[in-house]
Structure 1
């Protein structure tokens, strides 16, 4: 007989478990972040590898799948690198315009708030000194990114090679009566992640083309680079879209006179966001992964606090997997409903009162 512990005992235990889990995730960040990305990539490449295995040995199929992925990624990076080179060609003009804008801003602050130019300079210097620690963390993060670049291919290869071993472990670690439910969770999770990632790649490509085309028409410098960066940032729900609009607006401010171009950029990006949210996402991105707006924002911010920028991109796939698991386990179904975007018209209290009146 299962003992039901009182509320005041269960809550501290749950909170303690959450604290321990967060601590472990934070400490093992350098190991878990590349492993998480490798897991997503391995699931994405799995169908291609399975097809190739019908004609060639498994190891050869895995290597060919990874080479195809690397070639595609190298092509995208080559395109972006050519745009970055063009950006540095315009760097001197951008610096000159930026210094002019900062001088005008300094005069405006002095007239509006009474802060002298020397006092403003002192405040900026103090802020710069206080940010040295942050710069050091950023450099450490860059070194971490370089190590991830070498770790992820190794992880992807090994995960695909030992896929059967890992799946058998997941089946055997649970009792026989739960193996059917485990099989359903694994199958649905794999399908949801595959369709979700493929949908995101297609959606991101379309948004990148639309962004770049709009910026090229408006005459914004480095339009393709900014458009692609904006499309990648768009992967972050709500927060990324705001940053994506700010980048071309800032570039237009530094390279053009007046504010007409900035207003047109905002209008164009608002139209693209409308198309993305109402046409591209519902039709292209898998409907199996539906997380409500509140949870999306909170989980992205939590991912950023825990694992930085990689955590922001990993947060939505991770929470989508958790929702699939929650929906399959009776005791966790309320949590699955909380994560989803299916909003009921009435809450339980209203339904109970209506039932009592009817009786």
Structure 2
């Protein structure tokens, strides 16, 4: 066993480039783990900068200076964000407020529905089972209400922090876009000279991360918009709020769609009952999710979908447990990073074996 481990270690880490790559990864993971809460504005700005670098680069190719292209892109992006906030924000707030007010009534309706099930299907479900489910749901509802209350109280302290973020993040994005080349050169000076594998992994991941962020934004907009239109056609209440929830659910692969199904089904059930409209909405919602997973995702993430769904789910659980929302958001790129690292080390080993063969 010891010889096997020794052989594996010598094969993978005898090259100084491999050791440099390993220590860089350890340092980055430690930084995010211990100081992640302090660099959230930087991460947010980095995601937005990756998103906006594409149009800025296109404007630059048209002959504009980098500074001019950055200013134009930032103005357009800021205008779009303000339009969305002013146009959709009040609607979402009103629908969220109405839904919170109606939630107790919806819970009572659900409780009444469940208590009548033993009378309708005595051979399938007993009264004790229903009471157990009702008690569990009520306990969970109370716990959820306490969590919301505590969140609202603690969030009051964060108002100043959010105001600071609203100033810092746009400034960070602007300078990241304007001074992209200078920042990259400065980062290269911090990396040791044994950087061949680091550059190999970076070149493989840089384009993937850019495509992933851009594709994820497009996926959120498309899935959310289509869901909103479908819910509006069927006159489902809280269509805008549910459409936004469905759109943002794509941030969590596989799990997000299952979680958002609960509020969509609950609102449809309490509005229409077990009628044709309820089942039609669920079927349409299922079709939207199927098209997203089988058509839209392969088109937007042609490189990322090469990962097995098991690896993606494991990455969501692992990186989400480490870094919360950002771990979940970057689960697929991080899983791709692990794959790129394995490819880099495997390629190095294959090159070494090929050199030995040629020498013989």
Q: TM-score, normalised by structure 2?
A: 0.70
Alpha-carbon distance, 1:240 to partner: 0.7
Give 3-state SS (helix, strand or coil) of 1:6's partner: helix
Alpha-carbon distance, 1:133 to partner: 7.4
Partner of residue 52, structure 2: 45
- Residue correspondence of structure 1 range 272-291 to structure 2 within 5 A: 272-283=288-299, 285-290=300-305, 291=307
Partner of residue 235, structure 1: 251
Aligned match for 1:197, one of 201, 213, 217:
213
Label 1:129 to 1:293 Cα distance change in 2 as closer, same or farther (>3 A).
Answer: closer
Partner of residue 271, structure 1: 287
Label 1:105 to 1:325 Cα distance change in 2 as closer, same or farther (>3 A).
Answer: same
- Residue correspondence of structure 1 range 30-69 to structure 2 within 5 A: 30-53=37-60, 58-69=66-77
1:290-329 deviations in Å (ceiling 9; x for gaps): 3321121122122332232343213223333443454334
Q: TM-score, normalised by structure 1?
A: 0.70
Q: Does the aligned pair in 2 maintain the 1:49–1:65 contact within 8 Å?
A: yes
Label 1:266 to 1:204 Cα distance change in 2 as closer, same or farther (>3 A).
Answer: same
- Residue correspondence of structure 1 range 137-176 to structure 2 within 5 A: 140=154, 143=158, 146=162, 148-172=165-189, 173-175=191-193
Label 1:26 to 1:150 Cα distance change in 2 as closer, same or farther (>3 A).
Answer: farther
Q: Does 1:25 align with 2:32?
A: yes
Partner of residue 220, structure 1: 236
Label 1:243 to 1:177 Cα distance change in 2 as closer, same or farther (>3 A).
Answer: closer
Q: Does the aligned pair in 2 maintain the 1:221–1:251 contact within 8 Å?
A: yes
Measure the CA separation in 2 of the matches of 1:132 and 1:85.
Answer: 20
With CA pairs under 8 Å and 6+ residues apart, which has the higher RCO, 1 or 2? 2
- Residue correspondence of structure 1 range 1-359 to structure 2 within 5 A: 6=6, 24-53=31-60, 58-87=66-95, 88=97, 92=101, 95-102=104-111, 105=114, 111-113=127-129, 120=135, 124=139, 128=142, 136=150, 140=154, 143=158, 146=162, 148-172=165-189, 173-175=191-193, 178=196, 185-258=201-274, 260-283=276-299, 285-290=300-305, 291-330=307-346
Q: Does the aligned pair in 1 maintain the 2:55–2:73 contact within 8 Å?
A: yes
Alpha-carbon distance, 1:106 to partner: 6.8
Q: Does the aligned pair in 2 maintain the 1:304–1:311 contact within 8 Å?
A: yes
Measure the CA separation in 2 of the matches of 1:264 and 1:315.
Answer: 33
Label 1:41 to 1:111 Cα distance change in 2 as closer, same or farther (>3 A).
Answer: same
RMSD: 4.4
Alpha-carbon distance, 1:17 to partner: 11
